[in-house]
Amino acid sequence: MSVGDRLVVARVRGFHGLRGTMRLESLTDRAEKRFAVGQSLFPEGSDSPLTVVESQPDSLGWRVRFAEIADRRAAEALRDAYLEAVVAPGEELPRGEFYWHQVIGASVADLEGGVLGEVVDIYRAGGAEVLVVSGPAGELDVPVVRSVIRIFAPGRGKIVVDADALGVSGEDADELEPPAGSAEAGREPQP
C-alpha cells in the first residue's frame, strides 16, 4: 500500500439511537486512530467523506457518529457498508507486516511442498487471524500462529504450513493441486 490508497477499516453493523450513531465492526488494528474525532472515512466506492464527530468503543466494536449523517434514517442507508480510510504518509507497514488483501491469493503448501490451495479469505478469531485456504479438498482454516505457519512470505505469494499441526496428513496434501483463480480484497489489519 502506498500513500493515498484506501483500506477498508470497518463495516456498519447496526445503529444506536436516533441521531445517526452507527455501530461499526472494526477491521483494523488501529481503531483508536481510524475512528478518532476529526478523521474521515469513505463508504466503499464513494468519494464522499464521512467526518467522525463522536466515537467510543463498546462491547460489539465501536459506536461512531458522523457529521454528514443527520439521523437514523440516513445511517440505515449504510447498513452493511464497508468504510475505508486513506493511507497517510508514515502509515506504510514495516517490513514483515502485511495488509489482509496482500495475503489473499497466496499459495499455501505443506513442509514437503504439497500444495494445499490458496488463501481466499481471512478472518479474526480471538487474538489471531485465520487464513481460509481453498483447494481441491475443500476449505481449510489455518491459524496465523508460529506453531502452524513456518514460512510467511505473501509478498512472494508463498505460505508454508506444518500440515501435521493442522491435522492434514502428508498423503492427503500430496494429492491436492492448486485451485484456479485468485480472490482480491482490501482489508486492514495485517497478520
Note the pTM of the prediction, 2 decimals: 0.61
Give the model's pLDDT for residue 71: 94
Question: 191 in a domain, yes or no?
Answer: no
Q: Give the bridge partners for 15, in sequence order.
A: 22
Residue with cell 440516513: 74
Question: 104 in a domain, yes or no?
Answer: yes
β-pair type (128-135, 138-143): antiparallel
Give the model's pLDDT for residue 186: 42
User: What is the domain count for the chain?
Assistant: 2
3 — pLDDT class (breaks 50, 70, 90): low
Domain final position from 62, 86, 110: 86
- Residues 80, 11 share a domain: yes
pLDDT in tens, 160-173: 999 888 887 544 44
Give the model's pLDDT for residue 134: 93
**Position 124 pLDDT exceeds 50:** yes
Question: 1 in a domain, yes or no?
Answer: no
User: 113: domain CATH number?
Assistant: 2.30.30.240
DSSP string, 81-125: -EEEEEPPTT-SPPTT---HHHHTT-EEEETTS-EEEEEEEEEEE
pLDDT in tens, 51-66: 999 999 988 789 999 9
- Residues 82, 149 share a domain: no
- Residues 138, 80 share a domain: no
What percentage of the chain reaches a pLDDT higher than 70? 84
- Residues 73, 144 share a domain: no
Domain residues for 61? 6-86
